[in-house]
Amino acid sequence: MQINKIGINNTNFKANYFTIEKKGKFFFPTVISTDNEENLGKEPVLQYEREGEKYEFPMVYDGKYYTTQSTVSTNKYRIYYKDTGKYERNGQEQIINPLNLIKTATKEDRKYNNQPLEQAIAKGEVNGKVFVNTLDIPKDVPAILILDEIEKEEYIILADIPKNVKSIIVSSAKMNTLDHIANLTRNRYQVFSIVWDNDKFNDLKNQGGKCIYLNNESGILDYKQIGVNELTNDIANSTSYPPVTPPKLENVERLLDFDELTPQNSGNKGYRLGIMQKLLRDGILKDINIPNGFVIPEGYIKKYNDYIDVEDKEEWRKRITEGIYTQETEEKIKELGLPRRNLIIRSNFNTEDLGSFSSAGIYVSKYAGTFGSIIDEAVFDVIGNPLHLSGMAKKVHKKYGIEEKDIQPSVIIQDRIHSDYEYTVYTDDGDNNIIIDLSDIRLGYMRPANALIKYNKKTKELTMERKQSPFATYVFDEKGNIVNQKHPKDKITGNWDFLAPLLGIVTSGALVLEKFFKHPQDIEGGIGKDGKVYFWQTRDIVAKAVKRI
């Protein structure tokens, strides 16, 4: 790795450097470098021990520095010169703290991208007693939980956090404003903020055992100490997860086109796809494209499972690959002109897109295989036979009192759109704005935090509130100071002239759906490689989330 020369005036000073790289939303310690100003030799290696085993990493000279050529996962090391037998620092073990370097890099990266050192996922106000890094919390007190770095955001939802915890503050979490886990979090907690400012976060931790009042409605967390007598009991006793009863769907034993879908035969997810297609045909929804498809309902799936329930293996295989249900599915694909080698199979349960419950992100969707039986993939890979639910789905169902016997699964078979950009749109952020979480997916799997776009319904202005910065490199000295940094250009900003008119189409379409459904909408879609704007899902924003973004 090429690292720019860092001036060292004192040749007796021995300096090592540590590189932290931002890849997508994540920061990683990568390589360790030495300037070898003391000229101790020409064949340095980095040595460290782990669980009694000794490891050596060669360090390669690039004309200025000797640098390890692969990631070194250690907090303690020595640099030894094999050709002279000398150690830097006389063999004294060097200690680094990667977590502190990552926190510093995160803070600097947010400053560089004009992002605040706080992010309010759930906006509101709350009071409670503060608990730090513990779930040992009495049930009879409104509680505020302060947590250090969260490795996986799902832990916040899946962990058995007591119901009387009304607010969580964390020092880091890889959440986009409108992604599924943020939505679940927003509807669970009255206040949820990520605070990257070390001084402020440490001060919050120091409130442990005290009672405080929190307010982050401005996006920045304000807090003050209060007396025990000022705690409000209704906060401690309120129900965190209102019970959800999924609607009972009709038994339908044939394939359904989108224009046939109703809430009674398909549930809300499929029905809303049909509504968007109708609005498009009627000229009400303009310049938006809805990927075409059809629904395999629960009744048809039950008939298929009965049909393949035979003991003879050859007959079983034949019924899967050539049977009547496989043939009917393939004929429907041809009838609708869908690209057989470019399909997506999406869950379509009766528990999805309900006005009182957001199930976003807890069920399975998959790209269809090029060959084989579509209905077989739908049944066994997306639904399961018997019903197979992810660990997250089971825990979320349990929290909302949804019983497995009440779940009715079906699937959507739909044209798969290859996008350059994907987005989530909220048509109401509580302040008369539409907000768009926008991602340039050409950046690959390791994508950074999304760009945040805001459209003011009154002024009609479209502005970028937050950039999407893809990668960055930070070089630290031994004292933990940043001595060099590199940032690539933000592609969304660079393509703004192309994107702004298309985002205008997105906001216009979003307003049409909000008006039609008479409720703020949570819309998912993308901008295809063909430059067209697509919507592939819309649902009501769950009531608790509407005014708290």
Same domain, 386 and 401: yes
Which one-letter DSSP state was computed for residue 357? Answer: B
Whether 392 contacts 360, CB under 8 Å: no
Q: What is the pLDDT of residue 516?
A: 97
Which parts of 173-312 fold into alpha helices (H)? 180-186, 198-205, 233-237, 267-281, 298-307
Band (pLDDT 50/70/90 cuts) for residue 155 is low
Same domain, 378 and 264: yes
Rounded Cα–Cα distance for residues 381 and 346 (Å): 10
User: ∠ CA 359-364-368 to the nearest 5 degrees?
Assistant: 140
Averaged confidence pLDDT in the chain: 87
CA 302 centroid distance within chain: 34
How far is 318 from 536, CA to CA, in rounded Å?
34
Q: Is the pLDDT of residue 8 over 50?
A: no
Q: Are residues 393 and 340 in the same domain?
A: yes
Average pLDDT over residues 374-386: 91
Cα(120)–Cα(192) distance, integer angstroms: 6
**How does pLDDT run across 86-106, given as a tens digit for each residue?**
999 888 888 888 888 888 898
Lowest mean pLDDT among 88-102, 116-130, 203-217, 437-451: 437-451
CB within 8 Å of 241: residues ≥ 6 apart = 163, 188, 399, 400, 401
Contact 548, 430 (CB under 8 A): yes
Can you tell me whether residue 199 is helix, strand or coil?
A: helix
Output the six-digit token pair for 173: 């979490």
Question: 263 with 390, same domain?
Answer: yes
Classified as helix, coil or strand, 389 is coil
**Residues 167, 88: one domain?**
no
pLDDT the model gives residue 511: 97
Of the three residues 414, 435, 458, the one that is the final residue of a domain is: 414
Backbone angles phi, psi at 129, to 5 degrees: -90, 140
Confidence (pLDDT) at 3: 37
Structure tokens at 82: 């094999």
Distance of CA 115 to the CA centre of its chain: 18
- For residues 462 and 159, give the distance between their C-alpha atoms in angstroms, rounded to a whole number: 38
Nearest CA to 79 among 50, 132, 131, 36?
A: 36
What pLDDT is stored for residue 96 in this prediction? Answer: 87
Pair 43, 81: CB distance under 8 Å:
yes
Is residue 528 a contact partner of residue 282, using CB atoms and an 8 Å limit?
no
**SS3 (DSSP) at 433:** strand
Is residue 9 included in any domain, yes or no?
Answer: no
Query: In whole angstroms, how large is the CA radius of gyration of the chain?
Result: 27
Domain encompassing residue 388: 256-268+288-414
Residues 272/353, Cβ–Cβ less than 8 Å: yes
Residue 478 counted as domain residue: no
Which residue shows structure tokens 């992002």? 115
How far apart CA 126 and CA 420 sit, in angstroms, is 41
- The Cα–Cα gap between 98 and 515 comes to 50
| Cα 540 from Cα 354, distance rounded (Å) | 7
Q: Phi/psi of residue 500, each to 5°?
A: -55, -50
Tokens of 318: 């034949």
181 with 329, same domain: the answer is no
Is the model's pLDDT at 238 over the cut of 60?
no
Q: CB-side exposure of 483: number of CA atoms within 13 Å?
A: 19
pLDDT tens, 391-417? 878 888 887 889 999 999 999 999 999
Same-domain status, 87 and 222: no
- For residue 50 the two structure tokens come to 């782990």
The domain boundary, picked from 96, 130, 151, lies at 96
Show Cβ contacts of residue 443 under 8 Å, excluding neighbours closer than 6 positions. 24, 468, 470, 491
Considering the domain boundaries, does residue 251 fall inside one? no
- Name the pTM for this structure: 0.77
Is 85 inside any structural domain? yes
Can you tell me the distance from the alpha carbon of 299 to that of 255, in angstroms, rounded to the nearest whole number?
Answer: 9
Query: What is the spatial distance between Cα 136 and Cα 164, in angstroms, rounded to a whole number?
Result: 12
Q: What is the pLDDT of residues 474-502, one digit of tens each?
A: 999 988 899 999 988 888 888 999 999 99
Average pLDDT over residues 529-539: 95
Q: Say whether both 463 and 404 belong to one domain.
A: no
Listing DSSP states for 109-158 in one string gives HHHHTT--SEEEEE--EEEEEEEES-----TTS-EEEEES--S-THHHHH
Task: Check if the beta carbon of residue 120 is closer than 8 Å to that of residue 185.
Answer: no
Same domain, 405 and 447: no
Q: How far apart are CA 100 and CA 108, in angstroms?
A: 12
Structure tokens belonging to residue 30: 């990568």
Angstrom distance (rounded) from CA 389 to CA 425: 27
Q: Would you say residue 354 lies in a domain?
A: yes
Q: How many CB atoms lie within 10 A of CB 290?
A: 24
What is the token pair recorded at 89?
Answer: 């620092």
Cβ atoms within 10 Å of 279's Cβ, excluding its own:
18
For the sheet containing 533-540, what is the strand order?
288-289, 533-540, 521-528, 419-426, 433-440, 451-456, 462-466
Residues 336 and 261 in one domain: yes
Q: Please tell me whether the peptide bond between 386 and the residue prior to it is cis, using omega within 30 degrees of 0.
A: yes
Confidence (pLDDT) at 536: 94
* Token pair in block for residue 514: 């909000």
Of the candidate ranges 13-27, 305-319, 369-383, 523-537, the one whose mean pLDDT is the lowest: 13-27
Residue 249 within a domain: no
pLDDT at position 267 over 70: yes
Q: Are 214 and 224 in contact (CB under 8 A)?
A: no
Q: How confident is the model at residue 84 (pLDDT cuts 50, 70, 90)?
A: very high
| Domain count across the chain | 4
Pairing of strands 451-456, 411-415: unpaired
Q: Say what the pLDDT of residue 324 is.
A: 96
Residue 495 lies in a domain: yes
Q: Which residues of 143-182 are buried (b: 16+ CB within 10 A; e: fewer)?
A: bbbbbeebeebbebbbeebbbbbbbbbbbbbbbbbbbbbb
- DSSP classification of residue 379: I
Query: Higher pLDDT residue, 151 or 40?
Result: 40
Which CATH number does the domain housing residue 169 bear?
A: 3.50.30.10
Q: Which residues contact 85 (CB under 8 A, 6 or more apart)?
A: none
Query: Do 134 and 158 belong together in one domain?
Result: yes
Which of 381, 396, 414 is the last residue before a domain boundary?
Answer: 414
Residue 277 lies in a domain: no
Helices 496-517 & 267-281, crossing angle to 10 degrees? Answer: 110
What mean pLDDT is predicted for residues 174-201? 81
Query: Do residue 57 and residue 167 come from a single domain?
Result: no
